[in-house]
Amino acid sequence: MSLVDYNTPLGFTWNGKAYQGFEGDTLASALLRNGIKIVGRSFKYHRPRGIMTAGSEEPNALVTLIGGGSQEPNRRATTIKLFDGLEAKSQNHMGSVNFDLLAVNDLLSPFLAAGFYYKTFMWPRAFWEKLYEPAIRRAAGLGALSATPDPDQYDKGFLHCDVLIIGAGPSGLLTALNAGRAGKSIILADEDFRMGGRLLSEREEINGSNALDWVSSAIAELKTLPNVRLMPRTTIFGVYDHGIYGGLETMTDQIGAKGAKQVLWRIYAKKSVLAAGATERPIAFANNDRPGIMLASAVRSYANRFGIEMPNSALLTNHDDALGTPVDHVIDIRKGEHIVDTQGRGGIKQVTLNTGRKLSVQHLAVSGGWNPNVHLTCHKRGRPKWDETLACFVPDAQNLPAEMHVIGAANGSFSTHGAFIDANTVSELLGVKSGALPAAEDAPVNITPFWYVKGNKRGWVDFQNDVTTKDITLAHQEGFSSVEHVKRYTTLGMATDQGKTSNVIGLAVLADATGQTIPETGTTIFRPPYTPVPIGAFAGAHRGQHFKPTRLTPSHDFAAEQGATFVETGYWKRAQWLARTGEQGWRDSVDREVLMTRNSVGICDVSTLGKIDIQGRDAGAFLNKVYVNSFKLLKVGKCRYGLMLREDGIAMDDGTTARLSETHFIMTTTTAKAGPVFRHLEFCRQLLFPDMDVHLISTTDQWAQYSVAGPNARKLLQKIVDPEFDISNEAFPYMACGQMTVCGGTRARLFRLSFSGELAYEISVPARYGDALIREMIAQGKEFDAIMYGTEALGVMRIEKGHAAGNELNGTTTATNLGLGGFVSQKKDCIGKVLSGREGLTGEDQLNLVGFVPDKKGETLTNGAHFINQGDDSTPENDQGYMSSVAWSPMLETYIGLGFLTNGKKRMGETLVAKDFVRNNHVEVKVVSPHFFDPDGERLRV
């Protein structure tokens, strides 16, 4: 009997040599089929190791898959489905796997016991950093990364179901049949590429025929049910809150294949049934880790599922179940015999029994019993409970994740009959009828606990991390008695197999050392993931350009055509400057943009600033609550600057709000704060003022908005705005706003606002016209040499005018710091008003926003420099404040800066030192008004 398709041979390469396997093989079965004994070297001692299991619990056969110009280390050969052209190599050896130069470590083992970093490599102290640590690092780890970008694609998805059945062995399959026939939406997931669980590896009968027939017909029927989703090669790796499960589906093991290699599923299940089976455990004795020593259940898998014979074999066991393994000699511990040593470094040759007898063998099957796969029952901080009769941990029914049931071997029901009974029982609990009970074997569990052979020689417990019985007793001797400490000190159970074949044996050794029982010793907590999940799967498609969304402005394509350089502001891409041919470096472009705008007219896309449409009978009253200044009485057709505080008195955001009608306002926010301000406004609206008639909606993307600034701004706009609308200085003064039409009837809004300090407007059209409008304005602006300017020039101009922006509204500054203390209305409450009057934010010695110029013309100012009085030491106690924004001013032909200075308003004309220890740039600066250019605002009102 074998489930391998001998009609479909597959070629593969192992350590550079070509071999053949078959469809249905794993890499492990294909290696065994080809007589490969040594598949790797152990972690610490570099001992030769062979394949030990036939499942995801494999601790030894960790290989590197090669393909797509890359490689994937630490893959378990037992879970790789063989494909044609597979290329793999062994890991963790210097030289060949058969002759590893680092095997000298095994001779040094007395110096490499648990905790050796802290014991052996302590002297001389200087050698640790220079010699020992680098050497240990180089030797540590198993496989190596490719150091190239991962060529694989991954994806993520969302599934919903009534019942998630974890495991497609007999109990899972029968539950799926019952629930599926009843119309429940079911997901049946199994980590193997073939469903059937242990039935695939044993020779059993169900209803009087080959068990595999029952498996095939069950799967065939499930495939016909539209409400059932079969998911082979899908590991349910984690249980999360509220019925959410993580599943990793593997589509292929091929590296660089087309399409997603793996899909990470978030599964929302109303209920789950854990039918994950059990994992066999070995027994620890001296030299129990040689190639050719396997779990008995693995020997049966390779024989029955993969058709691989293992001649000249023996079995070591303490329970009846393993007796079905096809071997030549049985060593039954219950009859007083056990193994005390083995010979055969490159592959087992001989075993020595306690009776003195020696047996020549080429294969040794070992079984100490079965451990139910309880892991998922513990992901919500549950702990399993010890079953004395079964000599294993079982799920604690009182402490399961909500809505989870456990059945079959995972619940300690080890016979196939027991699995079917559990399936029918849980079906009733799920509210579905159970079908007829299939007839199957019902062997009782006859086990006498035996975990390890006591004695002086090392018996391996954790094969992957090379932790032996001696390490555990040593840890206890050194004072580590709690199971949590022993785990971390010895690293038992901390490898990629998470102790699946070693945890319980380790507990038994510790229990003996402490004189406690196994249940008294307890277990450590199982956490997701059950088996390793690649980081790439968690990333899914979110890598490279897909890492985060990009938001584009209405003028983006136009700006790109003009050769704009873009800057990322959160998700947005904004034109930073638009270089012209001949310009060398960004300063050339930015200085030119400032000069051309201030001398004629420039246009900047300001669509990214948040626009919040606020309507309602109480809209004005609402604005009074969130802004420090008054808006309730703002006239229709007018805009006003507003400052918003956090409830702790710190400035949150600023902007301008326009009143279009009695009940209609448009608020603007800074780009970065659009989302948080909207959230804050909804908080105020729903929680603090739930009875106000006020309604909010974001219109940031709805309207394209351009700033048109400069002495020729009005002239340009008079060519854009339709003639029936009067935008003369008299009809449309500074801070006016209104609805109008442009370019022959397109709906628009005009706001006379100025961030640059020039005669300026913001013109807004529905975004569908945004691209056309910028092109039309530039075309109409040709006679004025109109240009588009970017965020750098925007920034230079607002610094020249002394306007606060994000650098100043940095989450630590108050209205007083910003020079807006007088702006805060005394006649009304607002968010932040009370605490802005608290100790520390008021009184003497507050920071004031002021301007700075270098004392010596031509010197550079840098942002973040701290102000120290001349002659004082640069200490925190002498810190007078810091520089928040700097720019080269093309208008004043000097560097200018804005910054916060203690009592700055009273220190005009003083000279201080601006100290920048990061860029080593210390400059003497003079304190001046922050309004550098056109301080009286004459240009604004023309």
Please name the helix (run of DSSP H) or strand (run of DSSP E) that holds residue 135, with its range, or none: helix 133-139
**Per rule CB under 8 A, is residue 725 in the interface with another protein?**
no
Region from 26-34, 440-448, 521-529, 677-685 binding another protein, contact rule CB under 8 A: 677-685
Nearer to another protein, 71 or 555 (CB): 555
Region from 49-57, 237-245, 342-350, 462-470 binding another protein, contact rule CB under 8 A: 237-245
- DSSP tag of 129: I
- In this structure, what are the phi and psi dihedrals at residue 65, rounded to the nearest 5 degrees? -85, 140
**Per rule CB under 8 A, is residue 536 in the interface with another protein?**
no
- Rule CB under 8 A: which of 581-640 touch another protein? 613, 615-617
Nearer to another protein, 267 or 365 (CB): 267
Region from 52-60, 277-285, 392-400, 697-705 binding another protein, contact rule CB under 8 A: 697-705
| CB distance 531 to 237 below 8 Å | yes
The SS3 call for residue 598 is: helix
**Per rule CB under 8 A, is residue 671 in the interface with another protein?**
no
Give the span between the Cα atoms of 532 and 498, in whole angstroms. 10
Residue type at position 538? F
Interface residue with another protein among 33, 592, 833, 939 (CB under 8 A) is 833
| CB distance 708 to 760 below 8 Å | yes
| CB distance 342 to 314 below 8 Å | no
Nearer to another protein, 682 or 726 (CB): 682
Nearer to another protein, 428 or 693 (CB): 693
* Residue whose pair of structure tokens reads 């009978």 in the numeric block: 617
**Per rule CB under 8 A, is residue 396 in the interface with another protein?**
no
Q: How many residues bind another protein (CB under 8 A)?
A: 83
**Per rule CB under 8 A, is residue 769 in the interface with another protein?**
yes
The SS3 call for residue 770 is: helix
**Per rule CB under 8 A, is residue 856 in the interface with another protein?**
no
β-pair type (48-49, 40-41) = antiparallel
- Rule CB under 8 A: which of 863-922 touch another protein? none
- Provide, rounded to whole angstroms, the least separation between the CB of residue 831 and another protein: 9
**Per rule CB under 8 A, is residue 183 in the interface with another protein?**
no
DSSP output for 325-346: S--SEEEEGGGT--EEEEE-TT
Interface residue with another protein among 766, 819, 821, 864 (CB under 8 A) is 766
| CB distance 372 to 301 below 8 Å | no
Helix axes 469-477, 483-490, angle to 10 degrees: 120
Region from 57-65, 75-83, 167-175, 541-549 binding another protein, contact rule CB under 8 A: 541-549
Mask of contacts with another protein, 546-585, x by CB under 8 A? x-xxxxxxx----------------xx-------------
* Residue whose pair of structure tokens reads 């025929």 in the numeric block: 209
**Per rule CB under 8 A, is residue 829 in the interface with another protein?**
yes
- Rule CB under 8 A: which of 264-303 touch another protein? 266, 268
Region from 167-175, 467-475, 690-698, 920-928 binding another protein, contact rule CB under 8 A: 690-698
Region from 331-339, 457-465, 504-512, 767-775 binding another protein, contact rule CB under 8 A: 767-775
Strands (E), 816-880: 847-854, 866-869
User: Which candidate, 315, 479, 319, places its Cα nearest to that of 414?
Assistant: 319
Interface residue with another protein among 837, 860, 906, 919 (CB under 8 A) is 837
- Rule CB under 8 A: which of 640-659 touch another protein? 647-648
Reported as half-sphere exposure (CB side, CA atoms, 13 A), residue 740 has a value of: 24
Helix axes 211-224, 170-181, angle to 10 degrees: 30
Give the span between the Cα atoms of 789 and 760, in whole angstroms. 14
**Per rule CB under 8 A, is residue 545 in the interface with another protein?**
yes
- Rule CB under 8 A: which of 108-167 touch another protein? 153, 155-160
User: Which candidate, 719, 786, 705, 715, places its Cα nearest to that of 748?
Assistant: 705
User: Which candidate, 37, 26, 11, places its Cα nearest to that of 97?
Assistant: 37
Region from 99-107, 230-238, 744-752, 787-795 binding another protein, contact rule CB under 8 A: 744-752
Region from 105-113, 464-472, 523-531, 540-548 binding another protein, contact rule CB under 8 A: 540-548
Region from 213-221, 262-270, 448-456, 579-587 binding another protein, contact rule CB under 8 A: 262-270
Q: Which two tokens stand for residue 103?
A: 């095997």
**Per rule CB under 8 A, is residue 337 in the interface with another protein?**
no
Give the span between the Cα atoms of 537 and 544, in whole angstroms. 14
Interface residue with another protein among 541, 731, 892, 942 (CB under 8 A) is 541
- In this structure, what are the phi and psi dihedrals at residue 615, rounded to the nearest 5 degrees? -130, 155
**Per rule CB under 8 A, is residue 701 in the interface with another protein?**
yes
- Provide, rounded to whole angstroms, the least separation between the CB of residue 647 and another protein: 6
Cα first-last separation, the chain: 96
CA angle 478, 481, 484 (to 5 degrees): 115
Interface residue with another protein among 101, 108, 136, 834 (CB under 8 A) is 834
Nearer to another protein, 567 or 772 (CB): 772
